[in-house]
Amino acid sequence: MNNHQDSKDGARPFWLGVGAALGAVVALRIWRLRRAWQTSPLRPSEERLTALVTGASSGIGMVYATQLARRGFNVILVARRRERLEALAEQLAREYRVEATALPADLSTDAGISLVEQAIASTDTIAFLVNNAGFGLVQRFAEADMDKHLAMVRLHIHATLRLTRAALPGMLARRRGAIVNVSSLMSFYPIYASSTYASTKCYLRAFSEALYQELAGSGVRVQALCPGFVRTELQEVSNVERLRLPDWLWMAPEAAIAGSLRDLHDDRVISVPGLGYRLLATAAAVIPRSLLYTAGRLFGQGRV
């Protein structure tokens, strides 16, 4: 009897400790969620703020612009295709009663980047920047036109750097803002016939992570959005369809943007929408490189 009583008395502190630990975890989670909401760039604002979205004429950019207009942001839509931009601007202004501006520009050129920098400088309410403009290039490096490689570097890296630098001072002064750099799951899996694309997307992820640390506590959030297979025009022109991937691997752009916005609200710097893709991104750190190279070569050879 005494032994039984002693065991019960001994177990009591253990379970009290477990309960206290669980309580502390829950309390910390609640505190972090509350703090995330208080500093979220998506929280309501008394003034009408502006979002600038590049690559807004289709796919991820178009859906991101639509979601931000739905949340009350005025939007500046940047892409090369004037007719599509103007049609989208008219639609967003009509449906969500926001100011929507079409700004045709080719961000693979200095003139195009300068035009958007001027728009940022003349708009003192920029609080959201989505660096989404980009294109795919599926070709062996030695066979591809060097001008295409250089255009990709200018578009993915040079334009992102300059537009981020242009938008940041105003966001920091307001102590509120968000910058989303659209990277790719391929930043974790550099593969055959995508050398420049994968490396520029790796840059965007690393740049976002470093900038995230610099801006901690400033009220400005940064995210690298790393989607997997999303049904957009980019995937169509990148010969991904030739692989005949199963439907369950594909994600609608609306789902990818919903995941990005949730992660931005929770202040997660790396956003990989979709549980399966998050597992793949995590696995990339432990997969032997020789296996990754073999898989990447087999995958890439199916696209060229």
Residues with a catalytic annotation lie at: 197
What is the chain's percent helix, strand, coil content, to nearest 5? 60, 10, 30
The SS3 call for residue 42 is coil
Residues 6+ apart with CB under 8 A from 194: 136, 137, 138, 186, 300
Residues 6+ apart with CB under 8 A from 57: 77, 79, 80, 81, 84, 85, 88
Distances, alpha carbon 140 to alpha carbons 13, 137, 198, 263, 300, in Å: 64, 9, 13, 35, 10
Beta-bridged to residue 179, according to DSSP, are: 129, 222
Q: Among residues 104, 63, 107, 113, which one has the least CA distance to residue 84?
A: 104
DSSP 267-300: T-SEE--SHHHHHHHHHTTTS-HHHHHHHHHHHH
The SS3 call for residue 18 is helix
Burial class from Cβ neighbours inside 10 Å (0-12, 13-18, 19+) for residue 244 reads: exposed
